[in-house]
Amino acid sequence: MSMSGDSKEPREEQSQAPLIEHLIELRSRLMRAVIVILVVFLGLYSFANDIYTFVAEPLMALLPEGSQMIATEVASPFLAPFKLTLVVAVFIAIPFVLHQAWAFIAPGLYDNEKALAIPILVSSIALFYGGAAFAYYVVFPLLFEFFTQTGPENVAVMTDINQYLNFVLKLFFAFGVAFEIPIATFLLILSGATSVESLSKKRPYILLGCFVVGMLLTPPDVISQSLLAIPMYLLYEVGLLFGRLVRKRKEEKEAAEEQEADL
């Protein structure tokens, strides 16, 4: 009995060893990601006010000359730039953070999965950055011009710096995530969860869903909702296009393999 018990314990220890090793590696990679974010944050902190000024420029450019933002809370002049700088540090460190995540899961993937995952990872990062850039350079000027010109003439626009920051961060995140739609559509088609034909037939529902998402993620006005919903739908069509191309290549490859088998 003692011998069987002794043999059972080593087996349990052997089964627990890989799990412990994975947890240690996960902790190590999380620590690396956090350290990089902190290093970037410390490097940017001296420019915190300049970063906030840059983010506020789309609104400030449309305000009357001499206008300025206000701080309705005592700590806002410090906390708002601090919060923005931390978000920017995470934003800049995203490639490294995702690289750490990739390095953690890559050993468990097959070669064909690795070959596909790398382009998807790079495309996801580029699309997220593209969504944020689209929000800053296209959406913000149009949106703030609408807001500043539709109010009564005797109302002075004096935006609180903290409220403005929360507003733009929400839009940055919304557009960054929305620009990931081609990747999501492509993965659904690639995994076989759905087909190009099925998604094509659901275009009216997808368009309606895009406007519903735009309504939930943006301020309650038609312009900002449309500026999010329309790009979302166009990106959905881009995902369908890539899905068709991948399916076509897959069919050609299968046909070539069948011909080789017949020969």
In this predicted model, what pLDDT tens digit does every residue of 241-255 receive, in sequence order? 877 887 777 667 766
Angle at 70 between CA 68 and CA 76, to 5 degrees: 135
For residue 125, which of 157, 160, 154, 96 has the smallest C-alpha distance? 96
Beta bridge partners, 70, equal: 160
Q: Which helix (H) or strand (E) holds 100?
A: helix 76-105
Residues of the chain with pLDDT under 50: 1-3
CA angle 84, 128, 247 (to 5 degrees): 170
What is the tens place of the pLDDT at every residue in 74-103?
888 899 999 999 999 999 998 888 888 888
The values of phi and psi at residue 160, to 5°, are -75, 135
The predicted structure's pLDDT at residue 263 = 62
What is the pTM assigned to this prediction?
0.77
d(CA 97, CA 32): 8
Tell me what pLDDT residue 90 has: 92
Residue pair 82/41 in contact by the 8 Å Cβ criterion: no
What pLDDT was estimated at residue 83?
93
Residues 6+ apart with CB under 8 A from 143: 219, 221, 223, 224, 227
End-to-end distance of the chain based on CA atoms, in angstroms?
A: 62
Task: Give buried/exposed letters for 184-196 (b at 16+ CB in 10 A, else e).
Answer: ebbebbeeeeeeb
CA–CA gap between residue 44 and residue 27 (Å, rounded): 26
Helix 2-45 / helix 76-105 crossing angle, nearest 10 deg: 140
